[in-house]
A and B are shown apart, each in its own frame.
Chain A
């Protein structure tokens, strides 16, 4: 299996966010919200850092 870097980031963020959401909050509604929050932060941070590295490398 040779996923693209971005797809690997999506898979990683999905799995980690599910576990973080379930273990760090107590009610199902807050679990979903926290999991979604973590997912967005993981993927957003990866995209921002990728652009920063791209601009530094130029």
Chain B
């Protein structure tokens, strides 16, 4: 005699949901979320959260560019290298902006310095959002 579905023990149900969560390519939301801010959550059908994350991260990136922030390419100093890594975390927005020649070559006004920080922080926030999408995908985070 089989057990009715509503009689399944919570532990067994959790194990089953964990197995379901591991099906497919679990890193897709992580990679999509890195390339396009909010895309990881869109893939998981978290439309509202994805839209808010995309608006915040892309908005911050755009504000940084509007403030004449610098897009780091590479550097020899440790702060330049770290800023470049932070910029790269933005994914496609960084690559497209570089290709279009956006962003200042050098920081010449105070607001441009803030703009550079906005762009770097947008990249770091994008990594947090992408990891959050990955955690939702694997079932490590509920909600």
Tell me whether A3 and B128 are in contact (CB under 8 A): no
Stretch binding the partner chain, chosen from B3-11, B13-21, B58-66, B98-106? B58-66
Tell me whether A12 and B118 are in contact (CB under 8 A): yes
By beta carbon, the residue of chain A nearest B62 is A1
Instruction: Say yes or no: is A19 at the interface (Cβ < 8 Å to chain B).
Output: yes
Tell me whether B132 and A22 are in contact (CB under 8 A): yes
The interface residues of chain B, by DSSP majority, are classed as helix
Question: CB within 8 Å of A: which residues of B?
Answer: 49, 52-53, 55-57, 59-60, 63, 66-68, 109, 111, 114, 118, 121-122, 125, 128-129, 131-132, 141-143
- Size of the A side of the interface (Cβ < 8 Å), in residues, is 16
Give every chain B residue within 8 A of A23 (Cβ-Cβ). 53, 128-129, 131-132
Instruction: Say yes or no: is A16 at the interface (Cβ < 8 Å to chain B).
Output: yes
Tell me whether A19 and B128 are in contact (CB under 8 A): yes
Question: CB within 8 Å of B: which residues of A?
Answer: 1-3, 8, 11-12, 14-16, 18-20, 22-23, 26-27
Give every chain A residue within 8 A of B60 (Cβ-Cβ). 11-12, 15-16
